[in-house]
Amino acid sequence: MNENYFYFITKKNIQKFVFLLDKELAKNPGRDLELLTIVIGCLPGELAVDVLEHYPMEMQAEIMVGLVNYQQFEAEEVKRVVELFSENIKCVLGGEEFTKKVFERLDNDEKIAITSSISKSYSECSQKISHLVILFDDLFDMEAKDFNMVFSGIDANILAPAMVNMPDDKKKKVLASVSEGMGMMINEFIELRGDSIGKHEIEQAQKYIIDYSATFEAKGLIRIK
């Protein structure tokens, strides 16, 4: 099959595509295998795997059995499926990636206030939202080896402003993860310049550390939550 049929599907919108696919399967339960075979057969390999892995192993096996041999579908049927998704995907809003990006633009106080409100009023969504948002305080709940891996790799010029106004117990934990020399530099910075460091500079430094930690987690080297 022509891999260009679903030219509008990319890594950026694949989750929206799967959302629409699930809705279509729910409407046509008797055609699930046929629809999935058309979709996966038309997608480039990497995107086909993203869709395939979304479904239970039994269904994955059925799809692969259907794909191992050539099948000919009516051209109009394939085009109908493609047009269905090409129009509807433009109208799918939100999603986890979008929500994550919105949270990344908020300052730490706003993140805390919103997640706290969600926890109180929308408990059913709390865990899902919590998974998307990394607060600076979350880093202090990591296992010791993970915490040390992160904070021992941060430059003193970033770590020092991030620690301004930090509670003593957390400050002590950070200092225990760095060398004695770096600890002295950090303490000197806070003593001499701490009062002149504004909220924005503190949050920018903390955001850098959060992003730095997230790269480690993405590689499977640490676990934040």
164: pLDDT strictly greater than 90 = yes
Please state the domain count of the chain.
3
CATH of the domain at 162: 1.10.220.30
The per-residue pLDDT of the chain, averaged, comes to 90
**pLDDT at site 5:** 85
Same domain, 219 and 146: yes
Domain for residue 4, yes or no? no
Same domain, 121 and 39: no
| SS3 state of residue 33 | helix
Same domain, 67 and 101: no
* Top-confidence residue, 67 or 144: 144
Residue-wise pLDDT tens digits, 167-202: 999 999 999 999 999 999 999 999 999 999 999 999
Domain for residue 177, yes or no? yes
Q: Which residue range forms the structural domain that includes residue 180?
A: 134-225
2: pLDDT strictly greater than 60 = no
pTM: 0.62
Burial (0-12, 13-18, 19+ Cβ within 10 Å), 140: middle
**pLDDT at site 65:** 87
Residue-wise pLDDT tens digits, 4-57: 788 899 998 999 999 999 998 898 777 788 889 889 988 988 999 999 999 999
Q: What percent of the chain has pLDDT over 70?
A: 99
Closest CA to 11 of 40, 36, 48, 38: 48
Same domain, 77 and 107: no
Same domain, 139 and 149: yes
**Interatomic CA distance for residues 60 and 183, integer angstroms:** 53
| Amino acid identity for residue 86 in this structure | S
**pLDDT at site 29:** 79
Same domain, 215 and 140: yes
Mean pLDDT, rounded, for 102-125: 88
Buried b (16+ CB within 10 A) or exposed e, 76-104: eebeebbeebeeebeebeeeeeeeeeebe
Residue at a domain's end among 40, 62, 93 = 93
Domain for residue 188, yes or no? yes
Chain-centroid distance of CA 50 in Å reads 15
